[in-house]
Amino acid sequence: MKSLIIILLAMLGLVSCQPASNEAAALRNQFTDLQTRQAALENKQYIPHLGWAMVQVQVYHAKLYFAGAAQNWKLADYYVHELEEALEDVEQLHPEHEGVKVAELVKAMALPEVENVAKAVEQQDAVAFSAAFEKLTHSCNQCHQAAGKAIIRIKIPQNAGLPNQDFIPPRQE
């Protein structure tokens, strides 16, 4: 009898977890475009904290650098767009934070530099990429300073730190 009760309780636990899993998957899928992000804001659904959103920006910043440094222009193009989207998410989800007009700073400081990096990637110009990426990195620090967060300093990555990704372009066969 105890075994039957334990089995029933376990099954009840699994059944009760199923909707949560479906709800989590649905929430992840909801954030696929700007309209659904706006709906999330209006419905007070989960919105990542600004710090968490900026971690995403930082990861794409690093991945973009390593793709460009390896002259893997297709991958660099992919990450320049991911970085831009992550910054647009910051603008949309956190237009103002602790009295700082984040969206205005992102538009004025970061996005123009991302566009310059995108041009260098499009031209597949390693020298222009390096210069544009350095300016982008500098703009991150200027933005943090303007936001009163000068303690957060971004630099050009020194090593991949992403041991599970290969940034070298695939061989053409």
* 171 located within any domain: no
* 91 located within any domain: yes
CA nearest neighbour of 45 among 34, 30, 33 = 30
For 165, the 3-state DSSP assignment is coil
* 87 located within any domain: yes
Residue 107's pLDDT band (cuts 50, 70, 90): very high
Positive/negative CA dihedral, 120, 67, 147, 88: positive
Are 59 and 126 in the same domain?
A: yes
What is the CATH number for 62?
1.20.120
Per the structure, the complete domain to which residue 34 belongs is given by: 2-42
* 165 located within any domain: no
Residue 41's pLDDT band (cuts 50, 70, 90): low
Are 18 and 90 in the same domain?
A: no
For 79, counting Cβ atoms within 10 Å of its Cβ (0-12 exposed, 13-18 middle, 19+ buried), the class is buried
Q: How far apart are CA 145 and CA 5, in angstroms?
A: 60
Count of structural domains within the chain: 2
pTM equals 0.71
* 170 located within any domain: no
pLDDT tens-digit series, residues 79-91:
999 999 999 999 9
CA nearest neighbour of 61 among 143, 123, 125 = 143
CA dihedral 84, 163, 68, 157 (to 10 degrees): 80
